[in-house]
Chains A and B, each alone.
Chain A
Amino acid sequence: MGKLEILNLNQSFPRDDGTRLAVLENISLEVQDEEFVCILGSSGCGKTTLLRLIAGLDTAGSGRVILDGEEIRGTSPKVGMVFQEYSLFPWRSVIDNIAFGLEMRGIAKDERYRIAERYLNLVNLSQFRTSYPSELSGGMRQRVAVARALALDPVLLLMDEPFGALDAQTRNMLQKELLDIWEATKKTIVFITHSVDEAVYLSDRIIVLTPRPGRICRIFPVDLPRPRDRTSPEFAKVRRGVLDLINQNCAIQ
Chain B
Amino acid sequence: MGLKVIVLAKQVPDTRNVGKDAMKADGTVNRAALPAIFNPEDLNALEQALRLKDRYPGTEVTILTMGPGRAADIIREGLFRGADDGYLLTDRAFAGSDTLATSYAISCAIKKMNGVDLIIAGRQAIDGDTAQVGPQVAEKLGLPQVTYAEEVLSVDKDKMVIKRRLERGVETVEMPLPGVITVNASAPDCRPRNAKLTMKFKHAKTITERQGEAEDYIDMTADRPYLNIAEMSVNDIDSDAKWLGLTGSPTKVKKIENVVFQAKESKRLTPSDEEIDELMKDLIANHTIG
Does chain A bind chain B?
A: no
Interface residues of B (CB under 8 A from A): none
Give the interface of A toward B (CB within 8 A): none
